[in-house]
Structure 1
Amino acid sequence: AVKFACHWMNTKDTKVTEGGLNVTLTIRLLMHGKKGETVKKMREESGARINISEGSCPERIVTITGPTDAIFKAFSMIALKFEEDINASMTNSTVTSKPPVTLRLVVPASQCGSLIGKGGSKIKEIRESTGAQVQVAGDMLPNSTERAVTISGTPDAIIQCVKQICVVMLESPPKGATIPYRPKPASAPIIFAGGQAFTIQGQYAIPHPDLTKLHQLAMQHPPFTPLGQTTPGFPGLDATTPTSSHELTIPNDLIGCIIGRQGSKINEIRQMSGAQIKIANATEGSAERQVTITGSPANISLAQYLINAR
């Protein structure tokens, strides 16, 4: 999977080269596991700066920066490496048709309109002129304002496709601030049993003390009303419980991930916490939205926990 962004850099020696302006680009790739080791070997050969993120995620972010020719050299080496991996995996396989090389670029949502073009004209032109398949995801990636752009085909087709996408990105810079996508460790499912909360990791249920505390706190405020199929065994609290209210502010650019598509996430938080949650309309000139949570102290603490987790 490939993560990708382009930026103009003001260099004193900007000059016209064979491919147009000698601009500096940054391309960010999402890669799994030890492919990072291979990328290190590409530094000297491509002449691009290549950095690999640290962290416990299965995915690593590889950032490649340099003049356009160095970027494309590094990119072609990566596409060819992916093809080598496909060839190697096919030697012991019964599959007869060779799958294409597939990479995921990540593009600020504000630039996707230019990439698609009026009535899909630009993306169609890129597909036809390069022979690569290009698809722009309909939804933004979690907790970001970026969309995934999947490109697949032969290494040559992919390299030509990336060159054309770079041209579009440089001609139409992102509008406003971009919240970059950052891979997170996969969130484990949660179950509640015997008054304790557990996260599921592989075949094992691991006790989760923080969630257990919230679960027990919620249990101390009867009477309960079951919440139906969505969260078995998790208590809701009815209107007879003493209520209080709590206000917090959330930045406008993060409110989308709290609300979810057509309100799906905020409704889930309402159901799990048993709290009433009201999100004020955006006010002109303000970068934040007011959120009011009403319910028992247990409802409110659980709602806050779930909002922070989002």
Structure 2
Amino acid sequence: MESKVSEGGLNVTLTIRLLMHGKEVGSIIGKKGETVKKMREESGARINISEGNCPERIVTITGPTDAIFKAFAMIAYKFEEDITNSMSNSTATSKPPVTLRLVVPASQCGSLIGKGGSKIKEIRESTGAQVQVAGDMLPNSTERAVTISGTPDAIIQCVKQICVVMLESPPKGATIPYRPKPASTPVIFAGGQAYTIQGQYAIPHPDQLTKLHQLAMQQTPFTPLGQTTPAFPGLDASPPASTHELTIPNDLIGCIIGRQGTKINEIRQMSGAQIKIANATEGSSERQITITGTPANISLAQYLINAR
């Protein structure tokens, strides 16, 4: 099977999508776009990088299979070079593996995993790369992330095998592609403060507040009957507190509570919500979490708990 692919026996045009962090994308684009230009020229593959000021970007590689493998090889070696360079300043002795994240339609993940995990096991064993298929789909899409890590050579062999699987079992039905959200979107209001979510942290969002403040100043204060103080909608009147309940599997509760409760306290502080975790009940594999606060506080707390 292998030789057939590399000799171009399967010279079909394929598209493979990769999910990368901003820093990784920067490394592939290079100064003034020189690196990506070189990759395009040498591999013969089309390499497109999604727009944006998103923390995550999609890199789409399209072309005949051999061009795709060349592009992948160049990306894997570039990442290895980045790791080596970053290691030269650090004291770590063992070199971390190169990691790539593919975005694969969920309908093809079954074939990739194989019956009882047989296919993915075979790929791991024959290439020496670690392959992990995410259990959940990426937000607002029908795609899943497939994480490959190992040496560049192991990754290239692994990508070849994944391409073969994808060619043998095309996606079923329509695929809703994953589109990363811009960094500026999820602005969450909690306790009169605006936060943007970056990775797993909520960062106070400065310009959002000034905008709100200006808006509030422009609004002509309306005076409800029998009330003489101008009421800015939403500034003093805090919405009534409500309660939301979640159940979390016992084996995950540790990452939410953190060492000596550090994580849960962090979530409480950031969200401004009250969070109570029920004691484990016998025979139950889940714990009940009760979140109390304004709807905004609750949604922020939920977001942070899910992120954990």
TM-score of Structure 1 vs Structure 2, range by shorter chain: 0.5 to 0.7
RMSD, matched Cα? 11.2
Tell me if structure 2 keeps the 8 A contact 1:224–1:235: no
Structure 1, residues 184-227: CA drift from partner, whole Å, max 9, x if none? 13467766578676658899999999999999999999999999
The unaligned stretches of length 5 or more in structure 1 are: 1-12
Q: Secondary structure at the match of 1:14?
A: helix
Tell me if structure 1 keeps the 8 A contact 2:83–2:96: yes
Tell me if structure 2 keeps the 8 A contact 1:112–1:136: yes
Cα distance, 1:213–1:247 mapped onto 2, change above 3 Å: farther
Structure 1 runs (4+) deviating above 3 angstroms are 13-17, 31-37, 186-310
Q: CA deviation at 1:48?
A: 1.4
Q: CA deviation at 1:52?
A: 2.4
Q: CA deviation at 1:29?
A: 2.4
With the length of structure 2 as denominator, give the TM-score of the two structures. Answer: 0.59
Tell me if structure 2 keeps the 8 A contact 1:28–1:61: yes
Matched residues, percent identical? 92
Cα distance, 1:69–1:192 mapped onto 2, change above 3 Å: closer
Structure 1, residues 28-47: CA drift from partner, whole Å, max 9, x if none? 22334979652222111111
Cα distance, 1:270–1:49 mapped onto 2, change above 3 Å: same
Structure 2: how far apart are the matches of 1:126 and 1:231?
70
With the length of structure 1 as denominator, give the TM-score of the two structures. Answer: 0.58
Tell me if structure 1 keeps the 8 A contact 2:250–2:287: yes
More helix, by proportion: 2
Structure 1, residues 210-258: CA drift from partner, whole Å, max 9, x if none? 9999999999999999999999999999999999999999999999999
Tell me if structure 1 keeps the 8 A contact 2:130–2:150: yes
More strand, by proportion: 1
Structure 1, residues 47-86: CA drift from partner, whole Å, max 9, x if none? 1122222222133322221111111111111111111111
Tell me if structure 2 keeps the 8 A contact 1:223–1:238: no
Quick one: higher RCO (CA 8 Å, sep 6+), 1 or 2?
Answer: 2
Structure 1, residues 246-296: CA drift from partner, whole Å, max 9, x if none? 999999999999999999999999999999999999999999999999999
Tell me if structure 2 keeps the 8 A contact 1:225–1:236: no
Structure 1: how far apart are the matches of 2:108 and 2:228?
37
Q: More deviation in 216-225 or 56-65?
A: 216-225
Q: Secondary structure at the match of 1:212?
A: helix
The residue that corresponds to 1:253 in the other structure is 251
Q: More deviation in 238-247 or 74-83?
A: 238-247
Q: More deviation in 39-48 or 123-132?
A: 39-48
Structure 1, residues 126-180: CA drift from partner, whole Å, max 9, x if none? 0111111101011111111111100011111000000000000111111111111
Tell me if structure 1 keeps the 8 A contact 2:131–2:149: yes
Structure 2: how far apart are the matches of 1:232 and 1:111?
59
Q: Secondary structure at the match of 1:289?
A: strand
Q: Secondary structure at the match of 2:136?
A: strand
Tell me if structure 1 keeps the 8 A contact 2:223–2:231: no
Cα distance, 1:221–1:309 mapped onto 2, change above 3 Å: farther
Q: Secondary structure at the match of 2:153?
A: helix
Cα distance, 1:287–1:88 mapped onto 2, change above 3 Å: closer
Structure 2: how far apart are the matches of 1:256 and 1:178?
35
Cα distance, 1:296–1:221 mapped onto 2, change above 3 Å: farther
Cα distance, 1:193–1:251 mapped onto 2, change above 3 Å: closer
Structure 2: how far apart are the matches of 1:54 and 1:289?
41
Q: CA deviation at 1:18?
A: 2.3
Report the number of matched residues.
298
Q: CA deviation at 1:92?
A: 1.2
Cα distance, 1:189–1:283 mapped onto 2, change above 3 Å: same
